[in-house]
Structure 1
């Protein structure tokens, strides 16, 4: 299994069990999330609750709906950015990430990050913002939005900020 860690914080943000599609010249990875139900599981073993002394009101239903990616990687939702805040974030993020990349990746990153930023700015009103478990200020942001008519969120990752780790 492969896990993708944030190059800046070491937080686990994704794994190979969630297939991705490259976008914006490989700058972004698009990953489909799913709403799932977690919690109490009702198992019918064929027993008669009234004969066993059980009662339906004693059932503790702890089921809750979560988004698989958010839950699996313990992503923490952050307040949304306005345009000015997002541009400020991206400038800082680019400064922090660029020195961590090797020569070839650094050149490609500098060449294509502006296009990816413009793409994200065009969707800014629809985006949700998440950070890794450590909630570190200098970490990568994972973005989510709902495609038109979709009931499950789509996540966007900065591909160059992910480090592949074999588990």
Structure 2
């Protein structure tokens, strides 16, 4: 498993979930699944009424439905973008990221991202 770190904000992401490279390898497409988190119903065989306990000895059965990718990598929801706003966000990100890359990596990124930037669809 490889762990990747965002050069701008330090967030981490790994290749532990199945993904597909798109946009000439410049982006990943990952399919998330809804999963339920929370209490698990476990029958331990005890009967509180027989054992003389009158209080409820149950567990907190609160459950939460989350998307596995969002929960695993602690991703934050972003505001809705229309196409113009999304392209502006991506262009700003590219502008801030490019100086953080070094030498050959920077040239490779510029070459690929410029080719894909003009065809970016949302």
Normalising by the residue count of structure 1, what TM-score does the alignment of the two structures yield? Answer: 0.60
Q: What is the match of residue 29 of structure 1?
A: 28
Q: Which runs of 4+ in 1 moved over 6 A?
A: 54-57
Higher RCO structure, 1 or 2 (CA under 8 Å, sep 6+): 1
Give the aligned partner of residue 97 of structure 1.
97
Paired residues for 1:61-80 under 5 Å: 61-80=61-80
Instruction: Provide the C-alpha distance between the structure 1 equivalents of 2:5 and 2:46, rounded to a whole number of angstroms.
Output: 47
Relative distance call for 1:64 and 1:55 in structure 2 (3 A) is farther
Q: CA deviation at 1:5?
A: 1.6
How far apart are the structure 2 equivalents of 1:112 and 1:35?
33
Give the structure with higher Rg (CA). 2
1:117–1:63 Cα change, 3 Å? farther
Residue in structure 2 matched with residue 141 of structure 1 by the alignment: none
Aligned residues: 120
> Counterpart of 2:84 in 1: which secondary structure?
helix
Query: Is the 8 Å Cα contact of residues 28 and 116 (structure 1) preserved in structure 2?
Result: no
Contact map agreement 1:90 1:117 (CA 8 A) in 2: no
After TM superposition, give the deviation of residue 58 of structure 1 in Å. 4.8
SS of 2:80 mapped into structure 1 = coil
Contiguous gaps of at least 5 residues in structure 2: none
